[in-house]
Chain A
């Protein structure tokens, strides 16, 4: 088996703070209009901003799947209803057979927000959780692929990957690998992650949250704005689906350095980018734009700039789009893979939002305004706690 077999992205959908579907995200990128707002999530730390998704109250699962109801699965449900995605998957299911379509998705929190509600619903002095709380269909990581699989009528393998903020990108890589083995013919892949008190308070405890909208690559950047969302793609072999961009390559690595601090020279980031380029069989100069992980923390953005410079010099424009969506954690790799498809289609380099100029210490070519230019291939980076790194190369179909 060849090290990497390209896959067609024959359908895709996205849900972010900009709205449900690719259209609102594309318009916001072109108009340079972000989706972050002061955080009104119940029980969140004070004085922070977030990228919350509107409309979840209307996105309950169908009645026969009501056991799966939680914020995370509502984000997934909203994604299925957008961009004709559920219909595209149904067509693949009918063409290949339901047992030949896998679900491989990433999440860092799954439905832990449901557990937080169950904890909060206890009366003073009570320890037991409410009888109606269903751990397995909500909090459990497997609840996400189980819901998608049931909702889409699929019978292929259902896997969940949870590697912190690379989960969505790793899931796309793993889905492509699974199709290449011949076990399945198509896969629903991507990531979903939802706002919850655990991540908001956890990042606050690490002093990594920004005081306003996050400003990746700014000299005075002050941290992350947490977002939520979903990004899903339908992957098929290139010859099986006529239209759509291509996943040309993917690569992963580990830092083996520290649990939450990135390697200062970006050793793991460089390894992931080079592995993705090697999998695609292309040289760094054949990449036209890099969508950075770009969280807006001091350490991540400095590390990523060093890694970018090592791989690309200053020859390739790069930017982070987290100023629009916030950092959607386990969904970010998948959402940004879909942003890459928007950029390819629109011929757009979306410069970092909310900054005038990049940190003068940075040596890579950070774009700060939108540029219109034909793009053939985009590289998308994701890095996460535990030292996990994953890069995807997405190109014109």
Chain B
């Protein structure tokens, strides 16, 4: 499957948005570990911005940044991918269910659906285009990419957003996530204005062991959305690369990245 990638975004530790991160990702400026603070998604109405959880803020800030150059963002289909979903919301409900009065907040409950971030995005930009939300555990980025490339292969431009934030205690001990991370990109079937062409293959075998990289490469292991880093670094350096992304324990995607 092939598609053309235009806008791209990143928010993570020491990576505060694509413009500020591009040189670090390309390896031409030093990267240092720093806490990933929830960005402020300008696309959200102020009232929703204040109420939004960290997961929604990361997802929508990435979606906003990657699609900033799009003439009509409402025309894009969307794919949202997240291994953990919104842990603050689900954790809050689990705590409430096991408190003496068992009272679940109705707002928390409607925000607990895995497609809440997608719902807020479509409301914010006034889009009635189709949208999918996927899980995928550690392979969530690859799962989202596969779904987005499928849409592009059918001739439809699509916004892919991958995001994950650490789960709260006590779930965090069972499902550790090192830090918050979000990335997004716009994929389309035609090359107009593209940064790179992507060609994707599914391989039914485990991810081959990668050569040891630098500290920024090592970040990929800490968050499902950060598994996108090899792709993001190739895009920032504007170099051709063969990127391998974990999808399942015994399967991965091979992505040929060719700068346009």
Report if A and B associate in a common complex.
yes
Give the complex CA separation of A251 and B156 in angstroms.
13
The answer to whether B239 has its CB under 8 Å from any CB of chain A is no
Q: Are A256 and B127 in contact (CB under 8 A)?
A: yes
Q: Are A133 and B127 in contact (CB under 8 A)?
A: no
Q: Closest CB-CB distance, A312 to chain B, in whole Å?
A: 20
Q: Are B170 and A177 in contact (CB under 8 A)?
A: no
Q: Are A119 and B113 in contact (CB under 8 A)?
A: no
A residues less than 8 Å from B114 (CB atoms): 108, 141, 162-164
The answer to whether B102 has its CB under 8 Å from any CB of chain A is yes
Give the complex CA separation of A18 and B43 in angstroms.
46
The answer to whether A24 has its CB under 8 Å from any CB of chain B is no
Q: Per-position contact with B for A107-141: 1 when CB-CB < 8 Å, else 0? A: 01010100110011000000111000111100011
Known contacts A162-B115, A205-B104; A198 and B97 CB within 8 A of each other = yes
- A140: contacting residue among B116, B175, B250, CB under 8 A: B175
A residues less than 8 Å from B93 (CB atoms): 198, 202
Q: Are A198 and B104 in contact (CB under 8 A)?
A: yes
Q: Which of B240-255 contact A (CB under 8 A)?
A: 247-248, 250-251
Q: Closest CB-CB distance, B247 to chain A, in whole Å?
A: 7
Q: Are B131 and A163 in contact (CB under 8 A)?
A: yes
Q: Are A197 and B97 in contact (CB under 8 A)?
A: yes
Give the complex CA separation of A204 and B155 in angstroms.
42
Question: Of the 9-residue stretches B4-12, B132-140, B226-234, which lies at the interface with chain A?
Answer: B132-140
Q: Are A157 and B170 in contact (CB under 8 A)?
A: no
A residues less than 8 Å from B102 (CB atoms): 43, 201
Q: Are B83 and A1 in contact (CB under 8 A)?
A: no
Give the complex CA separation of A203 and B109 in angstroms.
8
- B133: contacting residue among A43, A128, A163, A255, CB under 8 A: A163
Known contacts A253-B129, A254-B130; A384 and B113 CB within 8 A of each other = yes
Q: Are A254 and B118 in contact (CB under 8 A)?
A: yes
Residues of B in contact with A, size category: 35 or more
A residues less than 8 Å from B113 (CB atoms): 108, 162-164, 384-386
Q: Per-position contact with A for B103-122: 1 when CB-CB < 8 Å, else 0? A: 11110011111111011101
The answer to whether A297 has its CB under 8 Å from any CB of chain B is no
B residues less than 8 Å from A162 (CB atoms): 85, 113-115, 133-135
Give the complex CA separation of A322 and B111 in angstroms.
24
Q: Are B115 and A133 in contact (CB under 8 A)?
A: no
Q: Closest CB-CB distance, B9 to chain A, in whole Å?
A: 21
Q: Closest CB-CB distance, B145 to chain A, in whole Å?
A: 11
B residues less than 8 Å from A259 (CB atoms): 110-111, 116, 119-120, 123
Q: Closest CB-CB distance, B110 to chain A, in whole Å?
A: 4
A residues less than 8 Å from B97 (CB atoms): 43, 116, 119, 197-198, 201
Give the complex CA separation of A197 and B143 in angstroms.
29
The answer to whether B98 has its CB under 8 Å from any CB of chain A is yes
Give the complex CA separation of A116 and B85 in angstroms.
17
- B119: contacting residue among A140, A158, A161, A385, CB under 8 A: A385
With a 10 A CB-CB cut-off, give which of A142, A256, A386 has the most chain B CB atoms.
A386
A residues less than 8 Å from B202 (CB atoms): 99, 156-157, 183
Question: Of the 9-residue stretches B26-34, B146-154, B214-222, which lies at the interface with chain A?
Answer: B146-154
Q: Which of B147-181 contact A (CB under 8 A)?
A: 147, 150-151, 153-155, 169-171, 173-175
Residues of chain B having any CB pair with chain A under 8 Å: 1, 74, 78, 83, 85, 90, 93-94, 97-98, 102-106, 109-116, 118-120, 122-123, 125-137, 139, 143, 146-147, 150-151, 153-155, 169-171, 173-175, 202, 204, 247-248, 250-251
15 A-B residue pairings within 8 Å (CB atoms): A112-B90, A119-B94, A135-B175, A141-B114, A160-B143, A161-B133, A202-B110, A206-B106, A251-B130, A252-B131, A254-B118, A254-B131, A255-B128, A256-B127, A384-B115
